[in-house]
């Protein structure tokens, strides 16, 4: 039975590869492959879960492919099956299968028909990786797939401004979650001295002893996990992305944001429950998030006058309640609640266009003019305040603008000098010095060694930051990013004696291929368009769809799409930073956070959005 697990995970991926084979006009083939893969998967998970329940329902754990192995480090896929997996996989299969059928009619003759089903299958694969994951590494791989496919589906209507803007916004926030997850992974690696599997977290004695030993470090891990879960489930204060993510076809909004994707935060909490169930602070934190979210999100849902936004916020509020339920240990209830909510919101989103006809009709017969309740004094003030705050979504958007993006942009702008010619010359010299230092590491005093690696990590971060605000030249932005990665790697190599050429090579090789392909794309584009800046969105995908695709692939390789060498490289890189290296981990994590955003920003600005050449119908910016 154990062996079957891997088929359950990889079947959607197989479907994805098959679906790539057909041209966009072969709608029937594409949908047949999709139905085949999803239908078979649904059948398999139902049968599998049934058999599993019938045979004692014992937790399953399968150690799968080992990606990398060294004396202290082992990175491998691990699959796992328990009742949470069963519920999530059956729910996911059920909804995705039905919505895929729905979509095959709904998207008929849509320009992005093929893109939609490809992305849906890839998303579904990511979902299953998460749900079946047996350790944090595996979960992280799935998590990453969800992020990327979300970006692609939000920006599905790539010739308009708002989808692209909101896709970038969502992926930026997702990225914060990813970084939290990778930090949790990093810390837990150092605490356990291995890649802890979820099955081991079930050993109460082991976990309790472990927590006693490293209390504050464990708190850190849990905090990171909770933030990651809160972002994925759009909890306060991370809620405002969810309604804005509903830019794709209604069906994709229904699968992603109505049901499967948003409930994964709850899954993460359920999965790690044994780890934090004995820690009161953690429980309190989760309950607090849940309660605050339930109250605020439902106050926002109350004032929403657009259907999809209303559904988004009411779903968020329910998930808030689920956070509480998880923390209280009411896990049967939470599963019921979750399945019910997912089905209800999926259905409501799918039929959301009907609301106009239905409610107008209803009003036609039942209209009651709102009676004015004469309010005065405090209750009037209170109600008006709540109304206005809710209409403004409690300023969550502004909060992020002020706390997150404005400082980053401000810092980036202060760094303009970095791209000047002499600065580059100096950086190259510094880098060569670093390489030399690395080669003769044994001869350098320990203290100097540590200073240098910090400096390098810092430079790496500065370069990404600089790239993040670059507006005049896309090639420069890209080059800065490449450069920053070289500094990062060297920084960690310098620090860590065990970090060997082999590992650097692994990372660099993955990076380099993508970097070069990306560069070639940019030069090609420049040859055609002469000037490629990042001042606004240019929508070049209209004229260069293939170039755009290749560049996207190189971006994904660059930001370490799972299974690319650089992905493993990143994992290794993090594993090599010790747990007391606070500064370096901050630099690296921030750099990692900004890296993907900076790269996707280049892609989005150059290739997506309303086309800048007005010789054909181009959408309004506000549409």
Partner 1 sequence: MENISSFDEMHLLHELKHYLPSQTPLKDFIHHNSLHAFQEMKFFDAIFKASTIFGYQATLPLQDFRSLYHIGRIDDDVLSRVIANRKGVEAIEAWKSNCLHKQYDEVNVPRIGLLRQEWKRKYKIDVDNSVQPLLFRILVGYLDQGIAHTSFPATGLGFLDSIRALEQNSFTSFFTSSRAKQLLQKSSITIAELLEIVVGNEAFYEQYIFDQQFSHRGWSGIVATVEDRPETLLSPKKISLHDVIVFELLLEIDRLDTVLGELWEPIAKDSILKPIDLFASIEEQEFHEILKIWQEAFEWSYYDEVLAGIQQLKMQNSTGSTTTPKPSFQALFCIDERECSLRRHIESTVPSCETFGTPGFFSVEFYFQAFGAKFYDKLCPAPVTPQYLIKEYDVTDARKHDLLYTSKTHQLATGFLSSLTFGFWAGFRLIQTIFKPKMSPAISNAFAHMNLQGKLTIENTSLEDKENGLQVGFTVDEMTSRVAALLNGIALTKQFAPIVYVVAHGSSSANNPHHGAHDCGACSGRPGSVNGRVFAAMANHPKVRLQLQALGIFIPESTQFVGALHDTAADEMEYYDVAILNDENRLLHIQNVTAFEHALDLNAKERSRRFASIDTKQDIKKIRKAIKDRSVSLFEPRPELGHGTNTLCVVGKRTLTKGLFLDRRAFLNSYDYETDPEGKFLTGIMRPLGPVCGGINLEYYFSRVDNQKLGAGTKLPHNVMGLIGVANSSDGDLRAGLPWQMIEVHDPLRLMIIVEHFPEIVLQVIKSDTSMYEWFINEWVHLVAIHPESGELFYFRKGNFVHYETLAKDIHFYKDVHTLLEGAKEMETNHIVHATQENLPVHLYD
Residues 308-347 that bind partner 1 (CB under 8 A): 308-314, 317-318, 321, 336-337, 339-344, 346-347
CA distance readout (Å), 253 to 37, 243, 383, 606: 21, 9, 32, 26
In three-state secondary structure terms, 151 is helix
In three-state secondary structure terms, 190 is helix
Among 369, 422, 440, 446, binds partner 1 (CB under 8 A): 369
What's the rounded Cα separation, in Å, for the pair 155 and 173? Answer: 15
Of 229, 249, 225, nearest to 238 by C-alpha is 229
407 binding partner 1? (CB under 8 A): no
Region from 142-150, 301-309, 424-432, 600-608 binding partner 1, contact rule CB under 8 A: 301-309
Q: Which two tokens stand for residue 494?
A: 């310098």
**Interaction mask 123-162, partner 1, x per CB under 8 A:** ---------------------------------xx--x-x
**b/e map of 335-351 (b: 16 or more CB within 10 Å)?**
bebbbebbbbbbebbbe
What's the rounded Cα separation, in Å, for the pair 310 and 298? Answer: 9
Among 49, 250, 272, 540, binds partner 1 (CB under 8 A): 250
586 binding partner 1? (CB under 8 A): no
Residue recorded with tokens 């953690």: 282
- Binding-residue total with partner 1 (CB under 8 A): 103
Among 72, 278, 363, 433, binds partner 1 (CB under 8 A): 363
CB of 139 to partner 1, least distance (A): 26
**SS3 annotation, 474-500:** HHHHHHHHHHHHHHHHHHHHHHCCCCC
29 binding partner 1? (CB under 8 A): no
Q: Which one-letter DSSP state was computed for residue 65?
A: E
Among 357, 371, 443, 531, binds partner 1 (CB under 8 A): 357
CB of 623 to partner 1, least distance (A): 5
Residue recorded with tokens 């979509």: 103
422 binding partner 1? (CB under 8 A): no
Region from 66-74, 120-128, 262-270, 608-616 binding partner 1, contact rule CB under 8 A: 608-616
The DSSP line for 374-422 is: ---HHHHHHHHHHHHHHHTGGGHHHHHIIIIIHHHHHHHHHTGGGGSHH
380 binding partner 1? (CB under 8 A): yes
Region from 64-72, 178-186, 388-396, 547-555 binding partner 1, contact rule CB under 8 A: 388-396
Among 60, 86, 98, 146, binds partner 1 (CB under 8 A): 98
Among 3, 216, 365, 530, binds partner 1 (CB under 8 A): 365
49 binding partner 1? (CB under 8 A): no
Cβ count within 10 A of residue 212: 10
Question: 135 or 251, CB closer to partner 1?
Answer: 251
In three-state secondary structure terms, 60 is strand
Among 1, 50, 51, 108, binds partner 1 (CB under 8 A): 108
Question: 59 or 399, CB closer to partner 1?
Answer: 399
What's the rounded Cα separation, in Å, for the pair 559 and 564? Answer: 9
Task: For helices 204-213 and 215-232, give the axis angle rounded to 10 degrees.
Answer: 110
Region from 39-47, 219-227, 247-255, 555-563 binding partner 1, contact rule CB under 8 A: 247-255
Among 3, 109, 422, 447, binds partner 1 (CB under 8 A): 109
Region from 66-74, 264-272, 294-302, 507-515 binding partner 1, contact rule CB under 8 A: 294-302
CB of 613 to partner 1, least distance (A): 6
């Amino acid at each position: 039975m154990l062996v079957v697990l891997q088929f359950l995970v990889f079947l959607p991926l197989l479907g994805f590869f098959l679906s790539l084979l057909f041209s966009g006009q072969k709608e029937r083939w594409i949908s047949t492959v999709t139905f085949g893969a999803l239908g078979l998967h649904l059948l398999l998970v139902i049968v599998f879960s049934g058999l599993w329940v019938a045979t004692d329902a014992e937790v399953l754990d399968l150690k799968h492919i080992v990606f990398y192995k060294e004396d202290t480090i082992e990175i491998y896929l691990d699959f796992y099956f328990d009742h949470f997996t069963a519920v999530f996989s059956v729910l996911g299969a059920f909804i995705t299968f039905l919505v895929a059928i729905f979509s095959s009619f709904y998207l008929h003759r849509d320009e992005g028909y093929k893109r939609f089903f490809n992305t849906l299958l890839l998303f579904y694969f990511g979902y299953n990786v998460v749900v079946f994951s047996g350790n944090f590494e595996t979960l992280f791989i799935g998590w990453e797939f969800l992020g990327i496919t979300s970006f692609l589906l939000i920006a599905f209507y790539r010739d308009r401004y708002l989808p692209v803007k909101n896709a970038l916004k969502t992926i930026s926030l997702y990225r914060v979650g990813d970084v939290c997850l990778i930090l949790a992974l990093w810390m837990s690696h150092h605490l356990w001295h291995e890649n802890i599997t979820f099955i081991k977290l079930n050993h109460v004695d082991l976990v309790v002893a472990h927590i006693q030993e490293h209390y504050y470090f464990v708190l850190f891990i849990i905090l990171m996990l909770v933030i990651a879960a809160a972002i994925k489930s759009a909890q306060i204060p991370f809620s405002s992305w969810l309604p804005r993510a509903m830019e794709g076809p209604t069906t994709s909004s229904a699968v992603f944001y109505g049901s499967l994707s948003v409930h994964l935060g709850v899954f993460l909490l359920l999965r790690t429950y044994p780890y934090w169930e004995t820690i009161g602070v953690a429980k309190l934190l989760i309950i607090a998030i849940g309660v605050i979210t339930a109250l605020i999100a439902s106050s926002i849902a109350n004032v929403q006058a657009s259907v999809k936004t209303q559904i988004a916020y009411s779903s968020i509020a329910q998930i808030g309640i689920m956070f509480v339920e998880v923390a209280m240990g009411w896990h049967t209830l939470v599963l019921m609640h979750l399945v019910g909510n997912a089905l209800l919101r999926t259905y409501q989103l799918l039929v959301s266009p009907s609301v106009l006809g239905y409610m107008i009709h209803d009003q036609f017969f039942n209209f009651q003019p709102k009676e004015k309740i004469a309010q005065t004094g405090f209750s009037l003030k209170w109600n008006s305040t709540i109304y206005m705050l809710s209409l403004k979504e409690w300023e969550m958007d502004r909060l992020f603008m002020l706390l997150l993006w404005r400082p980053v942009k401000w810092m980036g702008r202060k760094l303009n000098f970095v791209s000047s010619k002499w600065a580059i010359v100096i950086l190259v010299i510094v880098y060569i010095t670093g390489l030399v230092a690395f080669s003769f590491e044994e001869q350098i005093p320990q203290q100097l060694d540590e200073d240098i690696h910090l400096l390098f990590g810092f430079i790496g971060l500065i370069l990404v930051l600089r790239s993040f605000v670059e507006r005049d030249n896309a090639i420069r932005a890209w080059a800065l990013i490449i450069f920053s990665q070289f500094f990062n790697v060297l920084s960690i190599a310098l620090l860590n004696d065990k970090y060997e050429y082999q590992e650097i090579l692994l990372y660099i090789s993955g990076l380099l291929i993508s970097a070069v392909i990306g560069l070639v794309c940019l030069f090609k584009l420049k040859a055609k368009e002469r000037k490629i800046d990042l001042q606004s969105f240019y929508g070049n995908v209209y004229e260069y769809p293939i170039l755009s695709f290749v560049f996207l692939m190189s971006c994904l390789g660059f930001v370490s799409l799972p299974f690319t060498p650089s992905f493993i490289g990143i994992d290794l890189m993090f594993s090599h930073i010790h747990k007391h290296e606070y500064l370096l981990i901050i630099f690296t994590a921030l750099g990692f956070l900004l890296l993907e955003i900076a790269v996707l920003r280049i892609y989005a600005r150059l290739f997506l959005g309303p086309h800048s050449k007005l010789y054909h119908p181009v959408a309004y910016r506000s549409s």
